Amino acid sequence: MCSHRSSCPGPDTRPAHVVAARPEQGWSLLCDGTIVFDDSGELLPDGRAVAPRRDCVHTGRLTIAA
């Protein structure tokens, strides 16, 4: 799946790159087999799910400065 010259980085590291993006569906496939979602959640290649980080979830509320 991956075309890195050396072995692809593991799913617990961040250097993996996007090999397929589906922004209209809200997800991207990384070269290490991890699926990342727009809400920052992840589905790892071994089937484990990583919950979205709450500090990254957009509430849709705007803050207006006076």
% of the chain surpassing 70 pLDDT: 61
Q: What is the CA radius of gyration of the chain?
A: 15
Separation in Å, CA 47 to CA 11, 16, 33, 43: 11, 18, 10, 6
Does residue 10 have a pLDDT over 70?
no
Buried b (16+ CB within 10 A) or exposed e, 10-35: ebeeeebeeeeeeeeeebbbbbbbbb
Mean pLDDT (the chain) is 77
pTM of the model: 0.62
